[in-house]
Chains A and B, each alone.
Chain A
Amino acid sequence: MSDNKSDEVSEKILNVARKNPKGISDKDMAAAVPELTSAELVAAINKLLQQGVFDLYNQGGSLLYRLKNQNSKQAIKGADNEEKVVYNLIEEAGNKGIWIRDIRIRSNLANTQLTKVLKSLEGKKVIKAVKCVNASKKKVYMLFNLEPDRSVSGGAWYQDQDFESEFVDILNRQCLRFLQQRADKIKNNPRGPIVGRTQSYATAAEVQKYITDLGISKVKLEVEDVITILNTLVYDGKAESNVYPDGNRVYRAIESLLPPPGLVQVPCGVCPLIHKCNSTGLITPQECKYMDEWLEQ
C-alpha cells in the first residue's frame, strides 16, 4: 500500500519535472503533490535522488531538481562518482565535443585520474575521442552515439582530418560539366534570351541530384555541400550565380570576357624568372631557353 502510494507520488513529481526540462524547485514539487506533508515529500525526493532520476543543482541559492536523460541513466550504470561527473560534462558538450583540458578544469580531477576515467569510459564504448579538423593535435570527447558536428569533423570534405582536395576537384569538374551542358541554350534561343538563360540555369538541388546519380561520392552530399562546390566554380570564374524569385540560388556556366591575352601567349607571361630577366647578366631574353623552346614548336 505504502509502496503504491509512493510510486504515485514519484510519478506525479516526475510528470512535473518532465514538463520543465530546465529543472524544478522543491516548491514546485510541493505544489504538484499538495496532499503530502513536507516530511513525506522529502522522503519521496530522497528516494528519487537515490535512484539517480534527478540531478541536483544549486541555482541562485535555491536548489533545482532536473530530470536526467533516460539513456544516460542506463549508460552510466555501475560507474563511480568521478566517471559520472566526467560523463555529465561530456554529455553537456553535445556533438561539438569537449577538450580534455576543459574537462580537467571543470571537474577538478587530477590529470592521471582523469585519463584513467576517460580510458575506462572509452573502453565501455560510452564516449569516443574525435580529432578536430581545425587543430590536428586537439582531441575532443563526445558521447559514443553522437555524430560529430561539422565544425569538428569538417563535413563531407574531410576524411580522418585530412582535407580531400582531390575529391573536391573531381566534384568541381563534374559540376562544371553539368552546367556547361546547359550553358549553350542561351545562344540565339528562338524564344528570347531570358528563356534561354533560365534554361541554362541549374539549381543546387539539380546539381546535387546529378552528382548523386553519378555515384562518384561515397559520402552522402547535402545540398549545402554542393553549394560550396558551386561557389568555388563562381570563384574560378567559370560560373555565375543568380537568385530566383523563390530565393533559390541558381548557377550557370559562363565564358571569360576575353580570350587568353597576349601576355600569357608568350613564355614571359608564365616565366618564373621574369623579374630576374635583364638585358645583361645571367638571364637574358637572347639566351632564354623557354623562348627557344617556344619558338621551336
Chain B
Amino acid sequence: MSRQLGRVVSQILNRYFGEIVEKVGNDLFMYGSKPMGMIIKSTGLPRTQVIESLRTLLKFDLATFEAKDVIVDYKLLPDNILLLIRYPRYLLQMKTKYGSEAEMLVEELLQQASCTATVLIVSVMNKYKDDKEKNLNIVKLKDTFISLATAGYIQQAPVAESNSEIPILVPVATIVPDLDVRELINAMNTNLNNVSDNIYWKVNYDRFHLDFRDEVMIKAVTRRIDDNAGELLKLMLEQMYLSSSSWASDSSPVPLTDLKDGCQRISDNMKNHVEQYLRVIEESTAFIRRTGDAGGGQYSVRIQHALIQLVEALCDHTVTERLGGKAARIFRLIRSKKYIEEDDIQKNAMLPNKECKELTYKLLEEHFISVQPMRKAASAGGMAKAIYLYHVKLHDVAHVIRDMCYRSLHNVMSVSRHTRVLNARLLDKKRRVRTIVHGMRLRGEPQQNIDDVRYIFCIYILRGAWTVEVLDTLTPPEVTSSAEAERRLNTLAASELHLDRELFILTSYFTYQR
C-alpha cells in the first residue's frame, strides 16, 4: 500500500471509469475504509454520483464492503484494480489456448463483470451476428463455455444471502452447467429479460495467473537449458495440478516412472534422457528437487524457490540497467557471499578501489543493498573500527523494484493520457472517418470511393448525402500526426503490458513470502 500504488490505481480508475470513480477510489485508497457519508463529505460529490461509483466498483470487484451494525464500510481492493490492465493478456491467453470463441466469451464476461450463461452467450452471438468472418455458431459457443467452466477459467459468482438488509456474499462451488441449445436459440429471438437462468458467472483470475506463472517458469528453463527441459517442466507442472494444491510452495513428489510415461509423447531423445534432464534442471536452476528414491526417484517442483530465483533475475536486470554491469557484479557478489566486507568486495569484484566504493555506495543509496554495522566492544575506545557488512535483503529489494514499477506504470499511463488529450480532436475525427468507411464497406460501395474518403474529400461535398461527414475527414497533415499519436499510444500500451508482466512475477513472489 504505497503512495505509488495509490497513484497508479487512480490513473487506472480514471482511464476505465472516468473522473468521478477516480475521485471516490482515491478517497477510499487514502483512508482505508470508510462509510458512504464520509465519502460524500470528503469528496464533495453528490450522493447519487458516489452511490453510482461505489456500485461500479463493487460490481467489478474493485471494492468490498463490511457491515458493522448499521454502518457499512467500503474498502478499495487495489490489487484487483491493477488486474484491469492485465485484461489483454487474459484475452490473448484464451485465444491461444481455446480459440477466438473463448476470447469473445471472456471479453464479454470481463466487460459485464458477471452475468448468466444464457445472457453471455446470447449477447456474444448478437454482437458478432453480422460479422461474416467470425462465422459464429451457438453450439460452438456453448461448448467453449462449458470447457472454460470445466477448466476453471470461469467460475460461479458468489451468491448473496439476503436474510438481513445487508447482503453477504458467499462463494459457491462451481458446477459445470448443462446448457440447452434450443433454449439459447429461443432466448436469442425473444427478450432476454424473460430468461429464467439465475446462475451468475465471472472470470476466475486465479486460474489465469497459474497459467502465467507456469509459463514464466517454463520459459526460464527453456532459456537456460533447452526446449526439452521446458517440456519436461511443463509435464511436471501438469502432474502437480493432479496431486497438490496449485499455489503450494513445493509440489508433492512425482515418481520418475510417471514422468517417463509422459515424456514418451514428447520425443525419443527426451525419453532416453529424462533422468539426465532432471539432474541438469536441478543443478542449473534448482526449480526442481529430488526428494526421495522410491519409484526410481521422486521429484518435486519448488515453486517458491523458482520465484525467488526469478525475482533475483529481475533485480539483476534492474541493477544492470540502472547502474551498469559493474554494479550488478557487486550486487551479485554481495548476494552470493551473504555478508561481505567492503575490502572483500573490491578483491573479488576485480574493480578499481575507487570505482568499487562508489558503486557500492550508489547501490546502498538506491536501496538495492543494506549494510549491517558490527561494533566492537566499547572498551577498546576510538581504536576499534566498526566492521560494515553489506548484504542483500531480497524481500526489501523486491519492494523497491515493485515501487519503481508502480511509478513507471503511472508515468506511462499519464503520458498516454496526456497524448490522448492533446490529440483528442484528431483521434475522434479519425474514429468517425473509420465508421464512415466501415459503413460504406457494409453498403458495398466501390473501393475507389472508400479510398477517396480517407484522403481526399472536396469532391464529396458535391454529393449530397455525404456532405456532413465528409467535412470531417482528415487532411494529409492530420493523417500523419494522428498516425504519430497512435504509434506513441501503441508503444505506451505495449510497455504497460511489459510492466504488468514484471509486476506479476513480483506479486507472485510476495504471495509466497507471506
**Chain A interfacial positions (CB closer than 8 Å to B):** 157, 163, 165, 168, 172, 186-188, 190, 192-194, 197, 228-229, 231-232, 234-237, 240, 242, 254-266, 268-270, 274, 277, 279, 285-286, 288, 291, 294-295
Contacts and interface: CB of A to CB of B under 8 A. Distances in A.
A136 to B, nearest CB: 10
Nearest to A192: B273
Contact of B223 (A228, A232, A256): A256
B280 A285 contact: no
A270 B322 contact: yes
Contacts of B501: 261-262
10 contacts: A236-B325, A236-B328, A242-B283, A263-B314, A263-B408, A263-B502, A264-B321, A264-B322, A268-B408, A285-B414
A229 B350 contact: yes
Given A235-B348, A288-B415, A263 B329 contact: no
Contacts of A295: 415, 488, 491-492
B476 to A, nearest CB: 21
B411 interface: yes
B214 to A, nearest CB: 14
Contacts of B475: none
A187 B228 CA distance: 9
B436 interface: no
A232 B326 CA distance: 10
A77 to B, nearest CB: 42
Nearest to A294: B491
Residue from the set A231, A286, A295 with the largest chain B CB neighbour count within 10 Å:
A295
Contacts of B492: 295
A266 B408 contact: yes
A186 B284 CA distance: 12
Contacts of B488: 295
A277 B411 contact: yes
A232 B349 CA distance: 6
B414 A193 contact: no
Interface stretch (B129-137, B190-198, B351-359): B351-359
A270 B427 CA distance: 31
A88 B495 CA distance: 72
B410 A240 contact: no
Contacts of B309: 257
B314 A258 contact: yes
Contacts of B272: 192
B322 A187 contact: no
Q: Which of B228, B280, B336, B415 has the most CB of A within 10 A?
A: B415
Given A190-B269, A258-B220, A262-B495, A235 B318 contact: no
A274 B317 contact: no
Give the interface centre of A266, A279, A286 by most chain B CB atoms within 10 Å: A266
A286 B418 contact: yes
Contact of B310 (A232, A234, A257, A288): A257
| Among A163, A240, A264: residue with most chain B CB under 10 A | A264
B226 A187 contact: yes
Interface string B215-237: 01000100111111100000000
B423 to A, nearest CB: 13
B226 A188 contact: yes
Nearest to A259: B223
A187 B226 CA distance: 5
B426 interface: no
A193 B316 contact: no
**Residue in A236, A242, A270 whose Cβ sees the most chain B Cβ within 10 Å:** A236
A173 to B, nearest CB: 11
Contacts of B320: 264
B86 to A, nearest CB: 12
B500 interface: yes
Contact of A268 (B269, B283, B407, B500): B407
Q: Which 10 A-B pairs have the closest CB atoms?
A: A262-B498, A268-B408, A285-B411, A262-B499, A264-B321, A192-B273, A257-B220, A187-B226, A261-B502, A257-B313
B277 interface: yes
